[in-house]
């Protein structure tokens, strides 16, 4: 039995999801003639209280399209130093949109409205890049699955309004935040101009993200997707997986969160562990003591068929997910407990 906790992207479609995919009605989505894709886009747009949504093959492409919609070359995006759009999208913001990032030194990937205010360049000071967009990530990946305080999100919205800035949410794991904090998609739709949501992480789909946004702003989204090479034909087979996931795999995210917290409790008892960061959702980030080799620790787990990833600096990550079963969970807790002997 292999226990793969490297990411929640390692899941494979369930039988129910595969059945939904194989029975999907399809058409040519480049011509907007795929009824299943159209149904997915309409459903997610309605969930967020928006009029427009567009299906993308990846979350990175959806985020990059959003940045391009909001900005012009030479402008600047405000985001956290841990932000996925800065750290893990291949430098796409500069390559695709010609923009730079003003990094905020936040807490676990989250920042405050006053930090945004102080990061905005004066618009009439032409020596500095023109600030045009604020990007938020919820939950925060590098921040250990942390959930934003929604009141802070609203305060940042006010700052964006005052300075005529766009407001984008990288919601790759927003579903986890909604379940953890008992929030609604519509709440987020009321605050953000654009939101990307991923279907291939906690929801268990093989592929796909959706960018949802205000109607006027989203008019250029399909052109940008085309430029990025994201036009797809009979992609309703994949959109059907998304519809199935929305019906069956959202509320069960609470199970992943519970298991993550239980793993954290065991990790915190081990002599090799210096710190386990607070666990709110399905990501566990922990730090090894300085005298413990990260490579050896990861290899020791791998010898027990447990696979995790290192994040550098002695920090390691585990992510619980749909395919991480109760049997696997019990086995992992036993393996971890024995590591401390």
The 10s digit of each residue's pLDDT in 49-84 is 999 999 999 999 999 999 999 999 999 999 999 999
- Phi then psi for residue 101, to 5 deg, are -115, 130
Query: Containing H/E element for 96?
Result: helix 92-97
pTM: 0.96
* 186 Cβ contact list (under 8 Å, min separation 6): 47, 48, 49
For residue 284, which of 301, 271, 267 has the smallest C-alpha distance?
267
Q: What is d(CA 335, CA 327) in angstroms, rounded to the nearest whole number? A: 12
- Average pLDDT on 118-135 reads 97
User: What letter would DSSP give residue 120?
Assistant: P
Do the Cβ atoms of 242 and 59 come closer than 8 Å? no
Question: Could you identify the residue written with the tokens 């991480």?
Answer: 324
Residues shown for the chain: 341
Q: What is d(CA 138, CA 50) in angstroms, rounded to the nearest whole number? A: 19
Residue 312 pLDDT grade (very low, low, confident, very high; cuts 50, 70, 90): confident
Residue 189 pLDDT grade (very low, low, confident, very high; cuts 50, 70, 90): very high
* 263 Cβ contact list (under 8 Å, min separation 6): 284, 318, 320, 329, 332, 333, 336
Res 314: pLDDT: 79
Q: Is the Cα torsion angle 238, 240, 245, 248 positive or negative in sign?
A: negative
> Domains of the chain: which residue ranges?
3-8+251-339, 15-248
CATH of domain 15-248: 3.40.640.10
Res 340: pLDDT: 62
Across the chain, what does the average pLDDT equal? Answer: 97
Intra-chain end-to-end CA distance of the chain, in Å: 23
User: What letter would DSSP give residue 341?
Assistant: -
Q: Is 341 exposed, middle or buried (0-12, 13-18, 19+ CB in 10 A)?
A: exposed
Q: What is d(CA 246, CA 43) in angstroms, rounded to the nearest whole number? A: 10
Do the Cβ atoms of 141 and 284 come closer than 8 Å? no
Q: What is d(CA 206, CA 240) in angstroms, rounded to the nearest whole number? A: 11
For residue 242, which of 32, 46, 56, 62 has the smallest C-alpha distance?
56
User: Do 15-248 and 3-8+251-339 fall under one CATH topology?
Assistant: no
pLDDT tens for residues 293-309? 999 999 999 999 999 99
pLDDT at 137 over 70: yes
Category of 310 on φ-ψ map: left (φ > 0), alpha (ψ -120 to 50) or beta: beta
pLDDT tens for residues 22-39? 999 999 999 999 999 999
User: What letter would DSSP give residue 110?
Assistant: B
Query: Containing H/E element for 309?
Result: strand 309-312
- Average pLDDT on 318-322 reads 98
* 29 Cβ contact list (under 8 Å, min separation 6): 37, 55, 231, 232, 233, 234, 235, 236
pLDDT at 341 over 70: no
Domain 3-8+251-339 classified CATH 3.30.1180.20?
no
Q: What is the greatest pairwise CA distance in the chain?
A: 63
């Amino acid at each position: 039995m292999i226990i793969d906790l490297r990411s929640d992207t390692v899941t494979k479609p369930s039988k129910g999801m595969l059945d939904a995919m194989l029975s999907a009605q399809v058409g040519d989505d480049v011509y907007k003639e795929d009824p299943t894709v159209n149904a997915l886009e309409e459903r997610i747009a309605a969930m967020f209280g928006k009029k427009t949504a567009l299906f993308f093959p990846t979350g990175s492409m959806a985020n990059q399209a959003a940045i391009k919609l909001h900005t012009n070359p030479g402008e600047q995006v405000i985001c956290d130093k841990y932000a996925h759009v800065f750290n893990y999208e291949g430098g796409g913001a500069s390559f695709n949109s010609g923009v730079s990032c003003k990094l905020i030194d936040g807490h676990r990937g989250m920042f405050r409205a006053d930090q945004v205010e102080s990061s905005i360049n004066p618009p009439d000071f032409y020596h500095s890049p023109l600030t045009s967009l604020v990007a938020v990530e919820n939950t925060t990946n590098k921040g250990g699955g942390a959930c934003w305080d929604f009141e802070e999100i609203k305060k940042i919205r006010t700052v964006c309004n005052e300075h005529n800035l766009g407001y984008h949410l990288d919601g790759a794991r927003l579903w986890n935040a909604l379940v953890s904090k008992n929030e609604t998609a519509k709440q987020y739709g009321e605050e953000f101009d654009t939101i990307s949501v991923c279907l291939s992480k906690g929801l268990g789909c093989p592929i796909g993200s959706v960018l949802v946004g205000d109607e006027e702003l989203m008019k250029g989204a399909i052109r940008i997707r085309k430029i990025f090479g994201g036009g797809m034909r009979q992609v309703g087979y994949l959109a059907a997986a998304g519809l199935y996931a929305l019906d069956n795999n959202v509320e069960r995210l609470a199970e992943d969160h519970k298991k993550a917290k239980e793993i954290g409790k065991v990790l915190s008892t081990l002599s090799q562990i210096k710190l386990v960061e607070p666990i709110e959702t399905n990501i566990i980030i922990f730090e090894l003591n300085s005298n413990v080799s990260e490579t050896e620790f990861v290899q020791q787990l791998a010898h027990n068929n447990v696979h995790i990833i290192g994040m550098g600096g002695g920090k390691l990550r585990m992510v619980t997910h749909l395919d991480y079963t109760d049997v696997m969970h019990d086995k992992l807790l036993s393996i971890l407990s024995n590591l401390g002997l």
